[in-house]
Structure 1
Amino acid sequence: MEAIEAELARTVTGLKQNAADSRDIAGSGRGWAPRLAQESRLRQLDDRLARQPVEEAGAIDVEIERAVLLGALDRRQDAQQAFIDILRRQPTNFSALNEFGTLLTNMGAIDAACRVYSEAILHHPLNPMGHINLANLLLRANRHAEARGHYEAALRVDPEHAQAHQGLGAVLSDLGDRAGARHHFQKGFRDNAISTLPYRGTKPPVALLQLVSSGGGNIPTASFLDDCTFLTSVIVTDYLDPSIPLPPHQLIFNAIGDADLCEPALEAAVRLIARTTAPVINDPRAVMKTGRISNARLLRAIPGVKTPRTIAMARDSLAGPDGAVSIASQEFTFPLLLRSPGYHTGRNFILVETAAELSAAAAGLPGEDLLVIEYLDARGKDGNARKYRVMMIEDHIYPLHLAISQKWKVHYFTSDMADKPDHRLEEQRFLGDMPAVLGDKAIAALERIKVALDLEYAGIDFGIGRDGELLLFEANATMVIAPPDPDERWEYRRAAVGKILDAVVAMIMQKSAGASRA
């Protein structure tokens, strides 16, 4: 228990004020029946524990229920302390460890949650939920081998466990084994395609459906779908039985964003939205038009936009002895880019400098087909590559970040931003005055791309060419709005990111306000 508390102290210090704020909010709700029922139950448990010695049989279960309820009422700091008190007395209690891990995960204390789940597995290796909960966090951190081991351990205990199959499917999908992923998804989502997330608000929620794909390619929504405002039912569209009624909802948020990876899920989403009159954010029919090949072809017609020529070719052909000849026949020259479809954050995406490197490069990427992409040089006069990202929220374009790097593959969290004050100053200028930094030609191009995409939520990654034209890297819905870390170096970014998140929430609230529950 001491090790868990030490880990907790390191990871949740910054959460204490949030917890205090949450207590203030939690105490302000009035009149909503489910909330009143939870508060009534908490009073019953407090009265019972006041009259029942903690040593009596069944007392620990009452304490655990109380701690869980504190978390559900958004009194997270109180819930955290309650679990610590329980585990000091019964450090191997599986229910306490498992529920505490869930609370810490919801608080964002991931390292502490991993330690708690590991402790649960140590003492209860044959309980599949400990393995599954730890594996879910490992998968989130892209620690695929470790996550796979725990999902497989859970399935050895319970070969039909739906959540273990879902998680193992996600691992295999990320690793490029699409056939293996489908096998586990079929087992995991059969009769389990709809799940409703907990709601911790103080008044009646905004009920929405969040549509997702089983194999990834979804918009990350945790930063704006607050569980104190929204009652979210998540639907895995590619495994939904169409005979099952949809949960009550005022709005549909289609979070399926990757047209190259998610075609079956998007087709199922089109059928789903035909069953309801609720407003839809990101019509799946519009999302289906945003694949990389489609974007390269359609958006190049926009004045001021340069898109990279992009085609799909069989990986075996590229990796074979005639790969370079095949490339030349398509009028590609080196250097060029190879990418496995369906991956993001720079994974399975490489620069091939010469024909001699092509075979080995293609052989090392997953998937039957690879995207061959023209290399657009986004380096400035200083030799650094620059990648700008803007978000398009309904009718507005907002600057999100600028990443600067000496490397061709520019990803914000692996770029040189943290160590270069001059780079951060340049990003600050972009966030403060986007038109002045980008120029009229690029701004006009962004406006036209927004109209062409016809999405309420989307992002564009791009560079600026030497003549001021927009060098398009990516334009689709799968863009994450990640709040900055607490580090003071990122203080200048907070207002820009907060403005975007506020715009997303305002859009959702506005669209749901006039909708009757479907």
Structure 2
Amino acid sequence: MSVSSNPAPSATATDPSAFHRLGQQHLAEGRFDEAISAFEAGLRIVEGEAAASLPATLVGDLHACLANACLSCGDLVAAAENYKAALRLMPHLTGCWCNLGSTLLRMGRTQDAIAAYLQALQLSPAHWPSRTNLAQAMLATDQPVIAKALLLEMVADRPEDGRLHHELGKVCYRLNNTEQALSYFSQALACDAADAESLYWIGAIRQERGDEAAARLAYGQAAVIGPVIRRAAARAPAAFRALALQAPFGGNTPAQFLFEDAACDIDTLALLPSVSIDAVKLDPDYDVIVNLISDPDQAGDTLATAAGLVERLGLPVINDPCLIATTAREATAAQLAGLDGCRCPRTLRLAAGGDRSPSALASLLPSGFPLLVRVAGTHGGDLFERVDDLAQLAGFLRAHAARDCYLIEYVDYRSADGQFRKYRITFAGEEVHPYHLAIGPGWKLHRDATAMDDHPWMRQEEAAFLRQPAAVLGAAQIEVLHAIRRRIGLDYFGIDCARDSDGRLLVFEVNASMLVHGEAEDGPLAYKTPHAERIRQAFGALLARKAGVA
């Protein structure tokens, strides 16, 4: 417990109850430093007397009030110590157990926080703050099913509470039940028509489900209410403040996992055509900008808007919007051409509306057949095929005549055992972070669509790659990865790659759109979780460095 300067002389020097009253007055008026001084002075008197001669309620309440003042100042360690001291004397205080839980939760001690909330609820089963905070703690420990059950009980008690419906919407989305999620977000809006965050969630889910008209309507309504979504730091006080830029109808860096347990307050600004950036009132005290707009094929115009805003604010930025343009597929192939030890398949972009007849295509092909063709702006295996002749190619292009398409040289990257292997590497700053390995019998590999979960040997091979990527890819290939990082210039991004028959690094794509997420700690893929966590921590460290607080 820290010792501050003596309080105002209006408190009697030998009467702890007088200091208690003075501290409460300061606390009620928001003068937290003065309150801490008063409560500490009262406790110094207590320590100098026989404890048995003073009421336990007075000593305990001095500790509890001091803890409240420390919590208000962000001194979490002192707050926790004093809540515990109060509870040793008065273990029946429900609110004190709840406050201890909230303090521990902000310190990142989630399991200890859950134990404190449960103790509070054992004393007072209907204690609302403990019920609310316990649900959040269950989410923080990846227990969404329990969190949903708790929230449903609370909604039954308070059906008009829009925040409860909103939280249920997020839990249902986390459980992959988008229909229920939409229902709860809609109910949240029925309770509070100014709930812009629920509208953004509805827009995102509608867009994910392919209902673009409904998504645009929801996004537009949200933007009118408020274009900025605020997210508080996981622990108070926040180390700094970040402004994240997002394009609702463009590809974005998946940031939910990256922003978990963030040390900073994060405001996310949705850049929509209907929103005038000049009219948006942004707080003046941001320390860093995080550009989440990551796909130049989907969000070219929005990237230009983001670049203008970054220039206007003049703050440090992660993933400068001007550099994102260099990660379009044909731009990446051009940038990496001639890089020693690296092979990037030749790539040609065909604009929509041009001559796509077989005779016209014959003179444009970047290589012979077989050839890969995909619609621009798509990822994973969507709208992406191998074609073996001009007729197949022309047929694919006719089916997508209104879209730009990429023609990509096909490289057979099969390993000696006949399996294809695709590696994903993530950079957060300058360090190589392996994220996953996909193994399968076909050339079009997507980790979640493989049968690796059914084959222990495949998972063992992935685990070995995650532990020692240089031992799997080779030291020379790791140096090539660093050379790619220097050429691309982004702060945070991923690389999907393999090794060709000559041992060179075969690069499929380089961009900031790649998903990173954790796995269940007790599931068959639990070996991946520490490596995903390292990426998240590296991203947090990158944020802090850019903000100038590391």
TM-score using structure 2 length: 0.68
> Which residue in 1 is equivalent to 2:200?
166
Q: In the superposition, relative to structure 1, how do residues 161 and 360 fare at CA in structure 2: closer, same or farther (>3 Å)?
A: farther
Cα drift, residue 187 of structure 1: 1.0
Per the alignment, residue 306 of structure 1 pairs with 344
Cα distance between partner residues in 1 of 2:452 and 2:72: 49
Match of 2:444 among 409, 427, 437: 409
The whole-number CA distance in structure 2 between the counterparts of 1:101 and 1:347 is 37
Q: Residues 138 and 144 of structure 2 are in contact (CA less than 8 Å); yes or no, is this contact kept in structure 1? A: yes
Q: Which has the higher contact order (CA 8 A, sep 6+)?
A: 1
Note closer, same or farther for the CA distance 1:69–1:261 as it changes in structure 2 (3 Å cut): farther
What's 2:299 paired with? Answer: 262
1:486 match: 521
State how far apart, in whole Å, the 2-side matches of 1:97 and 1:358 are. 61
Q: Deviation string for 1:407-457 (max 9, x for gaps)?
A: 433233443444434334444554455445335774454343222211121
CA distance in 1, matches of 2:337, 2:506: 10
Distance 1:91 1:247, change over 3 A: farther
Aligned with 1:197 (options 224, 227, 231): 231
- The aligned residue for residue 383 of structure 1 is 418
In 2: Cα distance, 1:74 partner to 1:145 partner? 32
| C-alpha separation in 1, matches of 2:134 and 2:402 | 42
Q: Which amino acid aligns with 2:428?
A: I
Alignment equivalent of 1:475, drawn from 510, 526, 550: 510
Alpha carbon RMSD of aligned pairs, Å? 4.9
Against the structure 1 CA distance between its residues 487 and 40, is the aligned structure 2 distance closer, same or farther, given a 3 Å change threshold? Answer: closer
Instruction: Give the secondary-structure state (helix, strand or coil) at the position aligned to 2:200.
Output: helix
Alignment of 1:225-374 (within 5 A): 225=259, 227=261, 229-238=263-272, 239=275, 241-243=277-279, 244-303=281-340, 304-307=342-345, 309-311=347-349, 331=365, 333=369, 336-339=372-375, 341=377, 344=379, 346=380, 348-351=382-385, 369=403, 371-374=405-408
Contact between 1:400 and 1:496, CA under 8 Å: does it hold in 2? Answer: yes
Match of 1:35 among 58, 61, 74: 74
Partner of 2:63: none
SS at 2:149 equivalent: helix
Residue type of the alignment partner of 1:383: G
Tell me by how many angstroms 1:466 deviates.
1.5
* One-letter identity of the residue aligned with 2:295: D
Q: Percentage identity across aligned positions?
A: 24
Counterpart of 1:336, as a letter, is L
Indicate if the aligned counterparts of 1:30 and 1:202 stay in contact, CA closer than 8 A: no
- Post-superposition offset of 1:184: 1.4
User: Amino acid of the residue matched to residue 374 of structure 2?
Assistant: L
Aligned partners of 2:119, 2:549: CA distance in 1, in Å? 46
- Given that 1:202 and 1:228 are in contact with CA atoms closer than 8 Å, whether structure 2 keeps it comes out as no
Does 1:186 pair with 2:186? no
**CA distance in 2 between partners of 1:96 and 1:446 (Å):** 49
CA distance 1:510–1:160, shift in 2 (3 Å): closer
Question: Separation in 1 of the partners of 2:415 and 2:313?
Answer: 49
Deviations 1:329-364 (A, max 9, x none): 86485563435725x5x363543567679979997x
Cα distance per residue 1:271-312 (max 9 Å; x no partner)? 222233432221111113212343244434545322253535
Whole-angstrom CA distance in 1 between matches of 2:175 and 2:371: 32
- Structure 1 stretch 120-129 or stretch 288-297: which is displaced more? 120-129
1:512 corresponds to which residue? 547
Residue deviations 1:207-240 (CA, integer Å, cap 9, x gap): 3333333346333445555646323333334457
* Residue of structure 2 aligned with 1:449, choices 463, 484, 498: 484
Q: Which runs of 5+ in 2 are unaligned?
A: 1-65
Letter in structure 1 aligned against 2:320: D
Q: Secondary structure at the match of 2:503?
A: coil
Listed as ranges, the gaps of 5+ residues in structure 1 are: 1-26
Please state how far the C-alpha of 1:88 moved relative to its aligned partner: 8.0
Q: CA contact under 8 A between 1:458 and 1:477: conserved in structure 2?
A: yes
CA 1:147–1:196 in 2, change beyond 3 Å: closer, same or farther? closer
For these two proteins, the number of residue pairs brought into alignment is: 473
Tell me if the contact between 1:352 and 1:358 (Cα under 8 Å) persists in the aligned partners: no
d(CA) in 2 for partners of 1:272, 1:281: 14
> Cα distance 1:493–1:461, how it changes in 2: closer, same or farther (>3 A)?
same
Instruction: Name the aligned partner's letter for residue 341 of structure 1.
Output: G
Once the two structures are TM-superposed, the CA of residue 263 in structure 1 deviates from its matched residue by 3.0
Query: Deviation at 1:163?
Result: 2.5
Q: Which residue of 2 aligns with 1:11?
A: none
1:463: Cα distance to partner? 1.7
- Cα gap change, 1:324/1:118 in structure 2, threshold over 3 Å: closer, same or farther? farther
Q: Paired residue for 2:10?
A: none
Mapped contact 2:375–2:403 kept (Cα < 8 A): no
State which of 472, 482, 485 in structure 2 corresponds to 1:437.
472
Give the superposition deviation at 1:383: 2.0
**Residues of 1 paired with 2:276 and 2:100: CA distance?**
35
The structure that has the greater radius of gyration is: 2
Q: Output the CA distance in 1 between the equivalents of 2:475 and 2:162.
A: 57
CA shift for structure 1 position 167: 1.3
Give the aligned residue type for 2:247. Answer: S
In 2, are the aligned partners of 1:29 and 1:203 still within 8 Å (CA)?
no
Q: Which moved more, 1:374-383 or 1:90-99?
A: 90-99
Aligned partners of 1:361, 1:121: CA distance in 2, in Å?
Answer: 51
Contact 1:296 1:310 in 2 (8 A): no
Counterpart Cα distance in 2 of 1:353 and 1:205: 53
Contact 1:323 1:359 in 2 (8 A): no
CA contact (8 A) 1:306 1:469 kept: no
